[in-house]
Amino acid sequence: MEVANQSIVVEFVLLGLSDQPRLEKTFFVLILLMYLVILLGNGVLILVTVSDSHLHTPMYFFLGNLSFLDICYTTSSIPLVLDGFLTPRKTISFSGCAVQVFLSFAMGATECVLLGMMAFDRYVAICNPLRYPVVMSKAAYVPMAASSWVAGGANSLVQISLAVQLPFCGDNIINHFTCEILAVLKLACADISINVISMGVANVIFLGVPVLFIFVSYICILTTILRIPSAEGWRKAFSTCSAHLTVVVIFYGTILFMYAKPKSKDPLEADKQDVSDKLISLFYGVLIPMLNPIIYSLRNKDVKAAVRSLVSQKCFTQR
């Protein structure tokens, strides 16, 4: 443990899975493959939504933002995790930890707001289709996406500003793969009640409000769909929002599973649960960004057609 002359922490030690080295090598290969799929899948989605004029719509604009966000989110942590799997001593500087916490908060909050924006887009498209071109014009959806990034960044700036003001003068061992904010705050040698309250308020704003907004939007969407007389109309309406709804369920379901689980009081069970929580958190940060482009392109004819067109153009130019 390295500390400054005044016993001020200048770096943190990340435990990861240090006590299970065999698992580390296995997870290195697995996480690396998933990270490459994330870069490829989300990169292709961004490319087709930008290059194909048929995809210059609000839904695909939001989707492109979501793909870019997923790349930023994983790139802020996964390379460090992969490096940690290969090195016996996993350290990160205080400033590096602060940057990682900032990016994690910013990307997480932005994704919550973006999913809410996408729910509103689907609500207008299904419940008010005639007004859709007016309500979701470029003058509306570009500022909506920009505001989600600004809101996420502002929230993260508040949280990290409060965190870096805390004195860290004792233990510098973080029992996690990355600089997870709660694990970091446990190391502060000062009262963290303001930080906890601030994060609680942020959770209500960036988790609770979007969830409520999405829930109300889909209640209205479901009510509208049930009024459609034909089965073909039902199918088309459901197909336009099924991908978004799947992503929402996976995203918020995983968060609920992670933080709503009861904590064991038995020390042995607590250690096992600790490893389980770290792995769930790790795969949450990798699996969801990997699944997003798959979910949005699997049953989407427009995206499939755009990808085929892009591939054929590349093949033609190479000839």
Map residue 169 onto helix, strand or coil: coil
Using a pLDDT cut of 90, give the percent of the chain over it: 32
Tell how strand 11-14 and strand 91-93 pair up.
Answer: antiparallel
Examine the pLDDT at 124 and tell me if it is beyond 60.
yes
pLDDT at 176: 79
Alpha-carbon torsion angle 260, 265, 268, 272, nearest 10 = 10
Q: Give the pLDDT confidence of 235-282 residue by residue, as tens digits.
A: 877 777 888 888 888 888 877 776 655 555 544 444 555 666 777 777
Residue 14, strand partner residues? 174
Name which of 205, 204, 221, 196 is nearest 148 in CA terms.
205
Examine the pLDDT at 221 and tell me if it is beyond 60.
yes
Q: Give the pLDDT confidence of 163-218 residue by residue, as tens digits.
A: 888 888 777 888 777 888 888 888 888 888 999 999 999 989 998 899 999 999 99
pLDDT at 4: 41
Contacts 24+ apart (CB under 8 A), 159-164: 159/101, 159/102, 159/105, 159/195, 159/198, 159/199, 159/202, 160/98, 160/101, 160/102, 160/105, 162/194, 162/195, 162/198, 163/98, 163/101, 163/195, 164/98
pLDDT at 70: 92
242: tokens are 């099924």
232 class by beta-carbon count within 10 Å (0-12 exposed, 13-18 middle, 19+ buried): exposed
* Amino acid found at 205: I
pLDDT at 274: 64
Q: What does the DSSP 8-state code read for residue 262?
A: P
**pLDDT-wise least confident of 89-103, 112-126, 143-157, 254-268:** 254-268
Dist. CA 53–CA 310, nearest whole Å: 12
Mean pLDDT of 115-132: 92
Mean pLDDT of 281-294: 83
